Amino acid sequence: MIGYYVHHQGRGHLHRALAVQQALDEPVTVLSSLAPPTGHPGDWVHLDRDDLGIEPREPTAGGRLHWVPVGDDGLAARMQQLSAWLATARPRLLVSDVSVEVALLARLHGVPVVGVVLPGRRDDAAHLLGFDVADRLVAMWPPTATPAMLPGLPARVVRRVERWVRCRGSRCASRPVPAGVGRGRRGWWCSAAPVARRSPRRRSRPRCVPRPGGSGRSADRPARGSRTRTRWYATPTW
């Protein structure tokens, strides 16, 4: 079983989690302060909010973390909920999309962490700490876009990012895709390297899943006539 932490700001984090969940063959438990979308089929752990305090004190712990306000009841409750779930559920791994603090907590419980890397300048101490404790890092763009997507990031971190590469023709023909989905004229986007170890008896294949565009829409089905585009990407074979 896999745990998937989903940040509650915007909807891009949730869209990615739902796409990945639909393509996996094992249970996924979502951990988030968001409410589950209508008809969500899996387990969902609703977390207390940690950003409702009136005057947060020392929220970055001297610049080493992003959000750990001193004396915040919501933060204490949230971390207790996460810790209790990690200790009880014992997930095979936890995907962090995205929180340095959650990644650290999971690793302190002995749970492997897959960190989702977002575009932008992320070379501060807190981001680097999160990258360092993650067992694997994944980013959702083609390899040639990495320099523009991650300006200023140390080369040692960039080398660890498992980027997405375009595949065409026979390379994609045998890769399982959700029913009723066409390939499209431009091929698939596929993971350059799987997170899980390959089985010695059967070759591991990436799975192609949609990454809905736009971070401000609901995670439920878009309204008819929506111009929201869906591209197809491959997840590592967790």
Which residues face 233 on adjacent strands? Answer: 209
- This prediction has a pTM of 0.69
| C-alpha to C-alpha distance for 2 and 26, rounded to whole angstroms | 8
What's the mean pLDDT in 15-36?
Answer: 90
For the chain, give the percent of residues with pLDDT over 70.
Answer: 68
Determine which of 30-39, 56-65, 75-84, 206-215 has the lowest per-residue pLDDT on average.
Answer: 206-215
The answer to whether 67 touches 103, Cβ cutoff 8 Å, is no
| CATH of segment(s) 2-235 | 3.40.50
| C-alpha to C-alpha distance for 68 and 61, rounded to whole angstroms | 7
Q: Which residues contact 119 (CB under 8 A, 6 or more apart)?
A: 139, 141, 149, 150
What is the structure's pLDDT at 20? 84
Backbone angles phi, psi at 45, to 5 degrees: -100, 115
Where exactly are the structural domains of the chain? 2-235
Count CA atoms within 13 Å of residue 238 on its CB side: 28
pLDDT digits (tens, 9 = 90+) for 86-139: 999 999 999 999 899 999 999 999 999 999 999 999 999 999 999 999 999 998
The answer to whether 190 touches 166, Cβ cutoff 8 Å, is yes
What is the structure's pLDDT at 197? 42
